[in-house]
Chain A
């Protein structure tokens, strides 16, 4: 989780990314941040998030992102 927080701190430092459950809805995560986020998650966690997993539900909170990462790691 801390690795994910570090990525989020770098990309959206102005947002309450630890507690927010509406990062997409509130406009904290726009297309530009999302591309960087996906790229960095892929690099740091050595994953390749498939495009169909890039959904509002999976990116609206740090927790949802972490669940996605764990699930994808489990599949490998």
Chain B
């Protein structure tokens, strides 16, 4: 069995050299081409002598970005894809936390990359691809790479205002792909239609299915998701057979009634992950594309995909889709408030913090051992028979076990929300807003029904335009509030802390 992503790449290039692997609207790379590109990039980066170090990648989504990421791995390093659409200030924050040993940027972004972080070399992707391959170095790097080595560092919203880096291993991704192979029939004829940005953990599915199964991934241009007719045409022209999208993207097609005239003809598998999928929108898909299998996946950046639920019966609009059961080599349990642990076979309907162990608890917070120790806890109860040396990852999600032992998501323990498929700490928005002149204090709450972030503040009253322009300079677009409310006094509890519960 493969141990690292590079083993998959080696096998794929031998089995399917001339087949397409990564495609977007401007280029296609076959397995052989991607192997050469990754080898060229890896040879240059490997020669830096910084084995295991992080490389920041500033490129737009597409086949080139996939080549860059595989190049970083081939060079014995781990990658951190940066969302280039973010405000510069936030990119700077991430880079100074990451302290990359090198950066790769597309030609037009190399100047920007160098300005955002000066303490490492910046390579243009185009120039790296011209490097002569060093087969001896590449083989040596590959032979030393271990499943527990870091594959990627992905940044996610942080409640203190600074995004936090999550280090993920090769092993967790391999475990997912082997599980996928054990359950579904993927082959070289399959085409994945990518929606998820590559700085999301869920995108590993699209990045690595080609290497595991010889299929190809087509990177759908992000704008196409807004325009139903164009989206359906692209899915059909590219014969897309499987998608893994966030519920927001699936829901959008339902809300815009995208399949009235023409529907996707080739879909076999529809996976979704990242937030709760509304049944009404799922039912729209199921009624128009009844032949596909729909699978609810669950996971977070820290755990990678760790649970699944296949939808094999009808669901009413007021029902909740379960998050189901853990993947092979993954365990789940609930941590109750009194510190005791509840396993799937034990009492039903009690809520607890969803914890995972085994192959899903191998991650850590990058260069933050305190936070790692807080969230990845050691528990002797799960040592017996379980992999992962008794480490439990506390997700912060609340869940309970249903009648058949399946997991059901019940909400969050903290101020983290899911909005448009993005994971957002409301505290990060508040921290950014406190820097705006005139705002004395503020609190954000999520309006689930209106699907928008509500921003309440004390201090001088400002127009919606002024506030959203000020915040747009600090936060990614998806974090911008949809409603601004000026209040005399925010509701507070006895200790003077803002009481969000009373804002709604």
Complex-state Cα separation, A36 to B228, whole angstroms? 15
Q: Do B223 and A24 have beta carbons less than 8 Å apart?
A: yes
B271 contact set on A, CB distance < 8 A: none
Contacting residues, chain A, for B464 (C-beta < 8 A):
9, 13
Interchain residue pairs A-B with the least CB separation, the first 6: A51-B228, A13-B465, A13-B464, A14-B468, A31-B226, A34-B226
CA distance A30 to B258 in the complex (A): 17
Contact with B223, one of A36, A51, A52, A56 (Cβ below 8 angstroms): A56
Interface secondary structure of B, over-half rule: helix
Which of chain A's residues has its CB closest to B261's CB?
A52
A68 within 8 Å of B (CB atoms):
no
Contact A52 B229 (CB under 8 A): yes
**Cross-chain contact B252 with A35 (CB below 8 angstroms):** yes
**Closest CB in chain A relative to B446 CB, distance in Å:** 14
B478 to chain A, nearest CB (A): 7
Verify A54–B261 contact, CB threshold 8 A. Answer: no
Q: Are B249 and A31 touching (Cβ within 8 A)?
A: yes
What are 18 A-B pairs with beta-carbon distances under 8 A? A13-B463, A27-B477, A29-B226, A30-B226, A31-B420, A32-B248, A35-B252, A38-B256, A50-B260, A51-B228, A51-B229, A51-B256, A51-B257, A51-B258, A54-B227, A54-B229, A56-B223, A56-B227
Q: Within the assembled complex, what's the spacing in Å between the Cα atoms of A34 and B261?
A: 20
Contact, CB under 8 Å: A39 / B225? no
Q: Given A13-B468, A51-B258, A51-B261, answer yes or no on A32-B420 (Cβ-Cβ < 8 Å).
A: yes
Q: How far is the CA of A24 from the CA of B225 in the complex (A)?
A: 12
Nearest chain A CB to B156's CB is how many angstroms away? 19
- Summarize A's interface: helix, strand, loop or mixed: helix
Q: How far is the CB of A44 from chain B (nearest CB, A)?
A: 16
| Cα distance, A35 to B250, chains bound together (Å) | 12
A55, CB-defined interface residue at 8 Å: yes
Tally of chain A residues near chain B (CB < 8 A): 20
In this assembly, does B255 line the interface, its C-beta being within 8 Å of a C-beta of chain A? Answer: yes
| Contact string against B for A residues 1-42, beta-carbon threshold 8 Å, 1 for contact and 0 otherwise | 000000001000110000000001001011110111011000
B230 within 8 A of A: yes
Q: Mark B184-207, 1 if CB is under 8 A from A, else 0.
A: 000000000000000000000000
Q: In whole angstroms, how far apart are the Cα atoms of A14 and B462 in the complex?
A: 13
Given A24-B226, A54-B229, 20 more pairs with CB closer than 8 A:
A9-B464, A13-B463, A14-B468, A31-B222, A31-B226, A31-B248, A32-B420, A34-B226, A35-B252, A35-B255, A35-B256, A38-B255, A51-B228, A51-B259, A51-B261, A52-B261, A54-B226, A54-B228, A54-B256, A56-B227
Question: In the complex, what distance in Å separates the CA atom of A14 from the CA atom of B257?
Answer: 28
For residue B230, which residues in chain A have a CB less than 8 angstroms away from its CB?
55
| A56 to chain B: closest residue by CB | B227
Tell me how far the C-beta of B193 lies from the nearest C-beta in chain A, rounded to whole angstroms: 15
Looking at the complex, which one of B465, B469, B472, B478 makes contact with A32 (CB distance below 8 Å)?
A: B478
Residues on A with C-beta less than 8 A from B227 are 54-56
